[in-house]
Structure 1
Amino acid sequence: MVKAYFQPRALVLMYHRVTDSSQDVWDISVRPDLFEQQLQLLQEDYQVLPLPELVARADKNSLKRKSIALTFDDGYLDNFLVAKPLLEKYGLPATFFIAGGQAEAEKGFWWDELEDLVLGSQNLPARFSMAVAGAKVEIELDKESFLTGSLQQKLSQWKAVGQEPETQRGKLFLQLWQLLRPLPYVEQQDYLARLREWAGAHNISKPAHGRMSQTQLQDLARHPLFKLGGHTVSHPLLSSLSKARQYQELAENQEVLQDLTGSPVQACSFPYGAYNSDSLAVAQSLGYTAAFTTQEKSISRQTNPFQLGRVQVPNLSKQAFGQFLSYPR
C-alpha cells in the first residue's frame, strides 16, 4: 500500500472550449489569452506527453516527474481555430475526443441550443408549461420573459455546477437539462423542436457553438502533435443505455473517425463522465486501449486503464493555474 502511494503519478487535463464566451453556464470555457498563459506554464515547468505515451508509461511505472497530457472533449470549432495554433506555437501535443457520427456531424449540441433558447432569447412567453420526459414542467417567467441587461448579467455570472439558480430562467434551464440529458438523441431533438416553437425561432440570440468539419478533423489527425479519440455518436448518458445501445454509440463513432482519418482510434472518453460496467466492457471489446472519465484523480500504474481520471481546467491565469496544478490528487 505504501509502495503504491509513492508510485509516479501524472495528470490528464480536460478542456472543452477555448473562447471568450459571455455565457458559460457549465464553466467549461477558457479565454484564449489565459489558455496561452497556461500553455506557457506547461511548457516551462511540466513534461507534456502525448496521451498514448503517458498511458503506456503509467502502465510500465516509468512516468516522468510532473507528467501531464492534454485532452479536449466534444470537437468544438474553437479547438481548431484557437487552441490548435497555440498548441503548435508551444509544441505541445493533445488528444481531441470527438463526438459525432454520419448524421450528427453538422449539428450543434443539444445543451448549447437549450442554453441559447432559455438563457439567451431576448423575448420569451411569460409562462412555460410542458410535459417533458414524463414530468410536468411549469414555471412563471413573469418579468424575466424579456432579457434585460441586468438579467443578462445575472445569467452570465451563474454557474450551474455548485450554484442554485437565482432566476426563473435559470431554474427552467436546469430542470430541462436534467430531464433531457438521459434521453435518446431523437427524443432530445423532438423536445428541442417543441422548445423552439415555444420560444419563437426568430428570438434566439445564438452564440458561436460550431463544431469542427470533416476537413478540419482530417487536418488535426494528420498533424504529428495531435490525436483523435472517440466520444460516442450523440453524446448520450451511457449509464442510462442498454449494453447494445452503448456498443452502437461507441462503435459507430470509432468507425466514422477511423474512416475519416485512416488511422486507428485507440482511446475514448465517456460523455459527462458517466459509465457503468457495460461501458467498460464495450470499450475494451472495440479494441480501445484506454478510456477516460471526468473523475478528478491522478493516474498511476494502479489505475484501471478504462477508468482513467481527468482534471477539468478552469479559466485561470498562469499563476493561478500553477497553484491549481499543485493541489494533491
Structure 2
Amino acid sequence: MASVNPSIENAALALLKAVGGFMCGFGRRRKLAILIYHRVLSEPDFMRPDEIDVFTFAWQMELLARYFNVMPLADAVDRLQRGDLPPRAACITFDDGYADNATVALPILKRWNLPATFFIAAGFLDGGRMWNDTVLETVRRLDGERLDLSQIGQGVHAIGTPEEKSRTGYRLLNRLKHLPPRQRAEYVDYIASRVDGLPDDLMMSSAQVKALHADGMEIGGHTMSHPILANLSEDEARKEIAEGKDKLEAIIKERIRFFAYPNGKPVKDYKPEQVGMVRDLGFQAAVSTTWGVACNRSDILQLPRFTPWDRSPTKFMARLVANFSRAA
C-alpha cells in the first residue's frame, strides 16, 4: 500500500476500523456501503484522471479485505432486509462493462477473495464502444491547438496539451450527456469523423462475461445502450432495461437479479416510473449513484452507492468511514 510512514499509517487504519464499527450502526440499524467503480486502468491515463489505476485499486481492495466485511450483493441485500448485517458491511460494484474489469480488476479481487457485481450495458459487448469513450478517444488522437465545434453549437476548445485535451474531453461529456439520444449521437458522430482508428476493445466480450460469472461474480443489468432513462418514452425505457437483461441472461444462462440505473441520479437520470419497470421486470434490487450507505429504511430498488476518491490509504478509509453517516 502507498504509505509515507507504515507504522503511523497502520495505527491510523486500526483506529478508523474501530470508529467504523461504531459509525456503521448496531443490530438492525447496521448500514451497508456499496462501492462503485467503472474502469481500473493498467496505468494512469491523462484523458481519464478520475479513473483509478491498478496500483491504487490493489491497495484499496487490500484495505477492504482487511477492515471490512465484503459481501456478495445478493447476501447483503437479504441481510439488509432481515436486519442482521455484519459490522462494516460492504459490497463492490462495477458499472458499464469495461474489459479492464475482467483483465485488471478480477485478478486482484480473486487475490483477496472479494466478491463483486458487474453491471453491464449489454449492447456494447463484443466490440462496441460507449459514446463517452468515442469522445474521449477522439480528443486524445486530435492534432493541432484547437477543436472547432462551432458548427454544431459546441464552441471552440483548446487541445494543444494533454491537460487541455483532458479538460476539453470532460467538458464535452458534460455538455452532451443529457441531450436527446438522437441529437447526442449526431454530435458524437460529427466529433468522431475527425479521426480514424478508434479502439474497439474497450468493452468486455461475451466470453469475459461468462468467465466473470464462472469465477463467482454477480452479473447485473445496466440497459442495452446506457441511455438517460428519464429522456426516453415509457416503451423505449422498458425495452432498454428488458433487452439488456435478456441478453445477459442468454450469455450466463441464469437469471439477472440486480440492476444499475445508467448515470444513476434520481429524477435527473431516471424517474419513479422506471423504478416500477425494474420491479415489474423481476429484478431483486437496484442501485443508484446517490451518495450514502443503505440502511433498513432504504428503498431496495434505489440503493445508494459511493466510492472514496482519495489517493492515500488513510484518507480513503477516513472518507469511507465518514460515508456511513449518510444513510439514504
TM tier relative to shorter chain: 0.7 to 0.9
Matched, 1:201 2:195: yes
Corresponding residue SS for 1:296: coil
Give the aligned partner of residue 23 of structure 1: 46
State TM-score, norm by structure 1.
Answer: 0.82
* 1:95-147 deviation line (CA, Å, top 9, x unaligned): 0000023x76421111111122235522376633223xxxx3332x4xx46x3
Corresponding residue SS for 2:35: strand
Give the aligned partner of residue 164 of structure 1: none
Change (3 A) 1:262 1:113: same
Give the aligned partner of residue 65 of structure 1: 87
Change (3 A) 1:105 1:281: farther
Give the aligned partner of residue 127 of structure 2: 106
User: Is the Cα contact below 8 Å between 1:290 and 1:306 reproduced in 2?
Assistant: yes
Alignment RMSD (CA, Å): 2.6
Report deviation, 1:317: 3.1
Give the aligned partner of residue 119 of structure 2: 97
Residue 303 of structure 1 aligns with an amino acid whose one-letter code is S
The percentage of aligned residue pairs carrying the same residue is 27
Question: After the TM superposition, which residues 140-219 of structure 1 pair with which residues of structure 2 at under 5 Å, given as runs?
Answer: 141=157, 144=158, 147=160, 151-156=161-166, 158=167, 169=168, 174-175=171-172, 177-184=174-181, 187-197=183-193, 200-202=194-196, 210-219=202-211
User: Is the Cα contact below 8 Å between 1:34 and 1:318 reproduced in 2?
Assistant: no
Question: After the TM superposition, which residues 46-85 of structure 1 pair with which residues of structure 2 at under 5 Å, given as runs?
Answer: 46-85=68-107
Question: After the TM superposition, which residues 211-290 of structure 1 pair with which residues of structure 2 at under 5 Å, given as runs?
Answer: 211-224=203-216, 226-273=217-264, 274-290=269-285
* 1:179-212 deviation line (CA, Å, top 9, x unaligned): 354332x554433222233xx214x7x6896111
Residue 242 of structure 2 aligns with an amino acid whose one-letter code is A
Change (3 A) 1:153 1:187: closer
Give the aligned partner of residue 297 of structure 1: 292
Report deviation, 1:313: 3.9
Aligned mates of 2:256, 2:184 — CA distance in 1:
28
Aligned mates of 2:29, 2:316 — CA distance in 1:
24
Residue 175 of structure 2 aligns with an amino acid whose one-letter code is Q
Give the aligned partner of residue 32 of structure 1: 54
Change (3 A) 1:53 1:191: same
Change (3 A) 1:309 1:324: same
User: Is the Cα contact below 8 Å between 1:97 and 1:269 reproduced in 2?
Assistant: yes
Give the aligned partner of residue 116 of structure 1: 137
Aligned mates of 1:321, 1:175 — CA distance in 2:
29
State TM-score, norm by structure 2.
Answer: 0.82
* 1:65-119 deviation line (CA, Å, top 9, x unaligned): 0000000000101100010000001000000000023x76421111111122235
Change (3 A) 1:127 1:17: closer
Give the aligned partner of residue 138 of structure 1: 155
User: Is the Cα contact below 8 Å between 2:222 and 2:241 reproduced in 1?
Assistant: yes
Aligned mates of 1:124, 1:250 — CA distance in 2:
41
Corresponding residue SS for 1:304: coil
Aligned mates of 1:100, 1:55 — CA distance in 2:
24
Give the aligned partner of residue 162 of structure 1: none
Aligned mates of 1:17, 1:56 — CA distance in 2:
28
Aligned mates of 2:49, 2:275 — CA distance in 1:
26
User: Is the Cα contact below 8 Å between 1:4 and 1:302 reproduced in 2?
Assistant: no
Aligned mates of 1:6, 1:71 — CA distance in 2:
24
Give the aligned partner of residue 320 of structure 1: 315
Change (3 A) 1:124 1:259: farther
Aligned residues: 295
Residue 208 of structure 2 aligns with an amino acid whose one-letter code is Q
Aligned mates of 2:279, 2:179 — CA distance in 1:
23
Report deviation, 1:221: 1.2
Change (3 A) 1:26 1:285: farther
Residue 260 of structure 2 aligns with an amino acid whose one-letter code is S
Corresponding residue SS for 1:312: coil
Aligned mates of 1:248, 1:22 — CA distance in 2:
35
User: Is the Cα contact below 8 Å between 1:182 and 1:236 reproduced in 2?
Assistant: no
